Amino acid sequence: MKQPLSPIFKIVLSFAILIFPILFAWVTLKKGFTKTYKTVSFLWLAFYIVAIALAPSPDQETKAKAKAKELKILSISDFDYSMNELPAVSISIGEDINNYCGITLNRKDISTRGVSFKSKKNINRAISAECMWNKSHYIQSSKHPTEVSVTFSDVDTTMRTGSITLSLKLVNAKGYDTFFELNDTVNFYNDEMFDNLFFN
């Protein structure tokens, strides 16, 4: 006749299941364990597996952080450009020439005192936005829940520096079935960018 499992063994096994349920939960299938003990063990095993499956890998976290660090102003136009038959400026913000967003604004609306622009469903004609990201083209649309928000702040006319906060949600121009979202703040920090933005 088999001896019943000792309380000490069950306590030790409980800690083992808590720490590494994938290996030790199966032990409870042997005789001597109550139905409650088995149920709790396998519920914890299921939770553990789901948590591992949903957790981002270190590599994904590294890529996400790297992406945020690499986002920068690529260019601010210094040539004659117009939108709605008015002088305009085009700003490219992104990682590189393959992954970027282009924002176009009327020059008369830009101020060194700081200013914000917002547009939902392409209603505000004073701002235009599009993105090229991972070989896909994203645009504003009056028929989809797209939106763009651009804020100029921390403008220092002496140091000729400032920042642009960009938040947008654009729809894929091909198929209109996927969206691209971006929310970040980037800094412009040289005389050429400053002059192109405010004084051209």
Residue 141: per-residue pLDDT: 92
For the chain, domain boundaries: 7-54, 68-198
Residue 193 pLDDT level (bands cut at 50, 70, 90): confident
Residue 65 pLDDT level (bands cut at 50, 70, 90): very low
Residue 3: per-residue pLDDT: 61
3-state class of 115 per DSSP?
A: strand
Does pLDDT of 170 surpass 90? yes
CA angle centred on 189, ends 186 and 192, rounded to 5°: 120
DSSP state of 29: G
Nearest to 14 by CA among 5, 3, 51, 55: 5
